[in-house]
Homo-oligomer: A and B are copies of this chain.
Amino acid sequence: MTNPRADRVRDVAKLAQRSARQRRGLFLAEGPQAVREALRLDARRGTRLVTEVYASDSCLERYPELGELATATGALRLATDEVLAAMADTVNPQGIVAVCRYLDASLDDVLARAPRLVAVLCRVQDPGNAGTILRAADAAGADAVVFTEGSVDVYNPKAVRSTAGSLFHVPVVTGVDEGELVSRLRGAGLGVLAADGYGVVDLDVLQDESAARRLSAAPVGEPKGSGDSSSSYALEAPTAWLFGNEAQGLSEEELALADARVAVPIYGDAESLNVGTAATVCLYASARAQRLGVGLKTD
């Protein structure tokens, strides 16, 4: 393909718009890393999520494994850099793009697999933040990422890019009602924690308590004082974390759904953490407690 004004090129480019994506149930993966992860997922599962691949000769030469995977689909078409630039949201898609079917998993399927760590994005609006959290959730070994109703579209080109391929690793559930979600999560044996800068439970305290249980040692550090900051939530237990909107955080209704409102401690003068940073710290704290706590009873 050499004509950047061809109808097919325009059809692909239209996937930058949410309405076109939703109508067709398709989105665009851009660049070697994203396309490779998409093709690997198909190869692993025997599915056909990737419906079209467009690549330049030089890209296929530079990434032979990618070339092989793309050729095996039977859906590969060679294209010029000009055509690829016209298709893609990025200025430079690095020689390859792929049209992919929506990946949404159903909540039923996710819960049937007894998840131990789930990230829930409650009305997160920034595509970069959403992608970063999905990537961090993948790194922390989360079993699923859920986008509630009113969240940014995970298939937005910038969100897809920010996941750096993790969109093709972690099951994603979208458009879920929060109230229903939380009761379903609880039914599947997960506790629910709200990440909340104003939370009375300190994440460090939960980590300390978890470490103390694991080591059967005395409670760690200073006496915790009375009241809410001494929580009984076992961080090593299966957990769903709720992360809120960038500007408003979690709403009162969302906070009320959780077993505890947990704050990432701020040791310095920062007023708050950005939601991606907070989510990373929370998910890694859970992953670490769960990994270390394997074999422990969590009553």
Contact = CB atoms under 8 A, between A and B. Distances in A.
Interface of A: 33, 128, 132, 135-142, 164-166, 169-170, 204, 207-208, 211, 214-215, 217, 220-221, 264, 266-274, 276-277, 280-281, 284, 287-288, 291-292
Nearest to A163: B270
Nearest to A269: B169
A270 B215 contact: no
A141 B270 CA distance: 9
Contacts of A135: 270, 273-274, 277
How many copies of this chain?
2
A137 B78 CA distance: 46
A268 B140 contact: yes
A269 B215 contact: no
A288 B142 contact: no
A169 B221 CA distance: 28
A172 to B, nearest CB: 13
> Which of A169, A220, A281 has the largest count of B CB atoms less than 10 A from its CB?
A281
18 contacts: A136-B270, A137-B268, A140-B268, A141-B266, A141-B268, A164-B270, A164-B272, A164-B274, A166-B268, A169-B269, A170-B269, A208-B292, A211-B215, A215-B220, A221-B292, A267-B287, A276-B276, A277-B280
